[in-house]
Structure 1
Amino acid sequence: MLTPAPARRRSVDARVRASGVLALGSFAVAAACRIAVDRVAAGFETLNTIAAVGASAAGLGVLLFGATLVLAVQHHRGRRLPLVLGGVTALLALGAVAAAVVATTAPDVGAASNATIVRTALAGLAAASLPAVCLAALRSRSQR
């Protein structure tokens, strides 16, 4: 009698994929709005509207990024996951510090503005990944 092969467990489930796709979509909208603000020379109201949509999409993307990481940690029980997440979070935080240094030593307002945007984005991503890092650390501690 043939026995069915056990179903292989997927490394990423549908919730993680959907959350990741939504986060990427939000970041794409934010990037498109940033490009539009740079390109549009229309009125002040148009620029404010585009900038507001872009900032909202970036914020949503950061929140979805954090949610995606938490969902991934809940689904994946890897032993190296806490180390990888912690390392990436540390790199994001160090990148934010480096961008802050660049912003303070920038020769003109445009360069300082761009470095400040990068700093804010990296710091937001680092902060959004902290719940996943904590959850992964708690899970790895409880598995010992």
Structure 2
Amino acid sequence: MADYLNFKSVPLDANGKHTIIIVGAGIIGVCTAYFVVTHPKYNPDKYRVVIIESKRVAGGASGKAGGLLALWAFPQQIVPLSFGLHQQLSDMYGGDTEWGYRRLTTVSLEGDLTNISEADDDDDDEDDDNPGSKKPSTSSAQMES
């Protein structure tokens, strides 16, 4: 029985190649396959990569992802790596034309809205610039300090 448990198995296909099996064709599985076949030590004469997927490519949570990069990613250390890698892949494969990759300038705001209350406006509904007509309906908020 001990001999049965101590065997060595090397997965080879009919052509003598080692088979690397990746389970799942979501974003992680596809990226894993990509980085395996682009690694300097990968040799297609010795290895083949097989992705096994139960449904369809990016059919689960990956297919519903927003496809965005954000400065608020967690952990924070991955932010510059992620931005750099996305730019590098876009530059290598024409991401701007192939899949609409583009860098955007955005603004991120943070605040405490617990002390916001409605501002008290005067009760005058008449438009001072146009006598006889009513002011447009507006609402405003004021931040208490």
Normalising by structure 2, what TM-score?
0.23
Report the structure number with the largest CA radius of gyration. 2
Bigger fraction of residues in helix: 1
Normalising by structure 1, what TM-score?
0.23
